Structures are given as structure tokens and as C-alpha cells.
Chains A and B, each alone.
Chain A
């Protein structure tokens, strides 16, 4: 089958583009090498919707960050994704650096932020807003429109909505090679995409492959780009510490990025991180002792007495840092019909709706696309019984008893929600897939209680043998077999 558009990568960029393009009469598919959407950078980041004052004026980052932030309320509402604007404080603890705050304000104005959405606060004002900040605070830049979102749910919602509107998704499908080809019937030039699951043919390719985007770009273009995986580690704290600060607290930014932040998350936890360490391994999402120590130490410079005994987990994500330090979005000059969406490091998440809009607009103009009449951009998320009244909840349980059985006791997630996660479009097929869609396993016991029960549900609902159930696809099998099976064999 010849697709009009093949998108490589089902992260938040690829999914945003897929959704926007699904408005038009096009045959579109997304090729994703992992078992699910949201398995790369989108899975491990600060979950911040930046206000847009940080990126360099005139850059794609600045433009799309500001536009993405503007769009986020509508998108979150249409897609039923949790999002709120809690405001950000860029904190200065060194009197010699105070000018940096004004620079942020000026750049905010230059980037198009409304003047009344930003303020420079003195020490007293800052401490009144955030009593837990360091004694050394001298002032802060306050960006009122900065927000927090759930990156998993945003990515999943965009992908689901794209799928419902006709976009095919192919998982466990790693692109191995891309080459030009010609349609024998018409002589039209197309792309032949070789994957581990066979070939795909496309008129247009959209390269949204995260830390691998340069690999694919460089297959088709003489003008190379270079992406360095820039690793950032995080610590996540129990919801009991979730209101230790109420704004997202930044340090004044430096060369390697925005620096270590301390922020509440949309789900009520406290998040600390990231540092920035350039590595070579594009799969190097391991944390290191030094990295964890670094983020705790740096966070502690802005926020006093961080309750680190409340840590429930730590993780690391890789940013796709391109040498030019800006988004590369557009048709490749010497490779017509190959559209890059590369170098999507911060503010990638914030920009994602705008990235989708920008690419779709570009394609629509280029190809004179016809919008569908029946495109439905609204999507209902997984029903959360905890948001219902007791009467509504009981009516639901009478109809679907699975909503009466708690599986994840730390986050109070019911079997009904897990069944929804499994059976909806692009449903979960692994423990992590369930986790990202429902939060089961994200609580203080970190899936110790719920994982045997979730495994049983996956086994029952999808007919997957226990031995094949994975944590996150690939080789991440959870059990190696039944007891009484291998006794006496060599390991």
C-alpha cells in the first residue's frame, strides 16, 4: 500500500502531526519501533508547558513554544488531558546575576508574551509565594502562564485521536533504511522504507524519530545534521510532598539548558531534575549515582530542606539535542518530500500542538489538501470513577462491576479503568502501557502490589501467556516460566 504520509516516531511530535494531518483526506501511518506510543523522550521529561520566554527570539523553538502554550488549554480540553497553569518562578540566588531576570522578561516580550503575564519579584514577594525557597533568594522572574501537563496522556490522547480519525499505527516496527524509489505505473518518485517488519511505501516521510532523527535524515540528505542524546535524570517524590512548592521553580538558565527545576506535577507528585549530560548511547536512559546527586544538590540551592526521604522513584530521559540548538522542521532541501521534525528537545512538549499545526499547514498548502467532513478532534479519556459522586460511582459499578475492584491501591485505580486502557484504540499491551494510561503502578509502592494483578488482567483480556507479558515490550518479560517447569535444567 502506498501511504501519502509515513510518520517515523509515535512520540508527542509524531502523534501531534499525525492528529493534525488526520484532518485531511490522506492515507497516513505512523511507524514506531517500540511497542507503544510515548516510549522515548516523551516518556521522561519535566512535563512542563513552558511560557516561552526562554528560547532565543526568532527561533523555531520560540515561535512554536509560544504558539503551543497558547493552544494547550483547547487541546487539553478537546483531548481530555489534565493540564493547568501553575506559574513558574525563575529564581536568582546570586545578587550578581539579578540582571538575568530582566533579560528573561525582555526576551519574553520579544517572543510575544503579554507584558502582564510576567513580573519581576523581589525577595519578599518571592518568599511570600513560595515559603520553602532558599534563604539565599534575592528575586525571581515570574511567568504566570507556565503550566504542567501529563506528557503520557497528551501523547496517548493525540495518537488515539489520530487513530480514530484514520491514521494507522504500526508498533515494534523499526525503520532500518530509507531509499528513493519510483512507482512503475506513473514514474512518480516515492520513498521505500525498509523496516524489520517489511517495506512501507510513502509519498512523504515525516521524520519525528527523536534521538534517531539524524540517522534517518542523513540517509537521504547530503547536508548532515547531528543529534546528541542529552541525558537528564529526575527524582519523583511521593504525593505527600506534592505541595512543597506550588509553582515550577527554575534556576537562571545556563549553556546546557534550563537547569534543574523543582515542580509539582499535574498528578500531585513533586518532580526534581533534570541535569544535562551528553552521551553517545541513544538508548542510555540509565541513571547514575553522580547524576542523581547532582540534581538533588542543585535543586537544594533553590529550595530548602527538600524532603528527599519521600523519593519514590528516579528515571532519566534523553533529549534530542541538535548541534544548531533549534528545532529543524521543514522539508529537507536536497530530499524533497522528506520532512524533518528533528532536534525536538525542550521546549518540545510545550510546542507539540504547534508543531502539529505547523507541519499540517505546510503539507496542506504544498499538496492542496482537502479537509475531511467528519473529522472529530474531541476525545474522551479513561473514565476516572474517583471523580464521580458516590451515586454516580455506584451506578457505574452496577453496570460494570470491574469499576468496584481496586487494583492499584496507592493511586486507587480500578479494574474498570485498566480494562478501558486495554480495549480502547491503541490500547495498552504491557504493564507500562497500563501504567502510562491509568497511573496504576506510579504510586508509592511502585507496582509492588498491583503488578501481579495487572498481569493477570492482561493475560485474561488479551490472551497473552504469562511468560510473554512484558513490562514495556521487547525482551522485558516479567516472568520466565511457571514453577515446576524447569527443575533440573541448566540455567
Chain B
């Protein structure tokens, strides 16, 4: 039986939650004060996911870097693979918020999109 400790991020309480697992089966969730904590803990322990925000290289624009984000969550354990892929991207100005700079990053099914506008110079 595995025991995992985590801090809930659902609200400022930050309850310390303990999850007991056998393999991928959750046996118990304790320490949370509400349902938000329960749901968060179950997800976080089995399939932790994150949004990644970073920048990409821009050419021909009034800024040299464009801020970007993954359009949805990606698996937490793929963060650095995705960063490596994003770091190989370079986009040409002009850029608009929402432009896709990298489709389906690392096969996650999630696109990476621009979060700012860059003018062409």
C-alpha cells in the first residue's frame, strides 16, 4: 500500500491530504475539508497535469520573445519534453494572441498558443 502526501490547491486553506493507493487504485483520501480537495487529490495522484507557460523565439518582430501557453493541461511528467520541443520553435512576426505556435506538443494532443501580440518591424 502506497501513501502519498499532498497540499490541496483548491482554496487558500491548503489542506494537507493523504491518499492511500494500491497500484493505480485509490483506497482512501483523508485530510481534506471539502469535496474540492477530494477531487483534486484523486486527480493529482493518478494523472497530475499542468498548464505550461513559457516563451518562444520570434524573428522579425518588435520583441524577440513571445509568451505562449499550452492551450490545456499536459501530463506533469511531460513538462520538460514539451519545453524542449517548444524551445526549438521559432515564429515569424506578426503574431496574434491565440496563434498556434506548435501543434500537438509531444503528442499530448494539446497545442501551444501565443498569449501576446507582436508587431512586424
Contact = CB atoms under 8 A, between A and B. Distances in A.
Chain A–chain B contact at Cβ < 8 A:
yes
A484 interface: yes
B83 interface: yes
A487 B65 contact: no
Contacts of A483: 55, 65
Nearest to B83: A487
B21 interface: no
Nearest to B56: A484
Q: Taking each of B65, B84, B87, which has the highest tally of chain A beta carbons within 10 Å of its own beta carbon?
A: B87
Interface in B25-64: 55-57
Nearest to B57: A484
A199 B84 CA distance: 50
- Dominant SS among interface residues on chain B: strand
Contacts of B84: 487-488
A487 B65 CA distance: 16
A488 B57 CA distance: 17
Contacts of A484: 56-57, 87
Interface residues of A, number: 4
A contact face: mostly helix, strand, loop, or mixed? loop
Interface string B60-98: 000001000000000000000001100100000000000
A462 B33 CA distance: 61
Contacts of A487: 83-84, 87
A488 B87 CA distance: 11
A484 B54 CA distance: 10
A452 to B, nearest CB: 13
Interface in A448-491: 483-484, 487-488
Nearest to B89: A484
A134 to B, nearest CB: 48
A344 to B, nearest CB: 47
B55 to A, nearest CB: 7
Contacts of B56: 484
Contacts of B65: 483
A487 B86 CA distance: 11
A483 B65 CA distance: 9
A483 B88 CA distance: 11
B85 to A, nearest CB: 10
A483 B83 CA distance: 12
A484 B88 CA distance: 8
A132 B42 CA distance: 64
Contacts of A488: 84
A66 to B, nearest CB: 58
- The list of the 4 closest CB pairs from A to B, nearest first, reads A484-B87, A487-B87, A484-B57, A487-B84
Interface of B: 55-57, 65, 83-84, 87
5 contacts: A483-B55, A483-B65, A484-B57, A487-B84, A488-B84
Given A484-B56, A484-B87, 7 more contacts: A483-B55, A483-B65, A484-B57, A487-B83, A487-B84, A487-B87, A488-B84
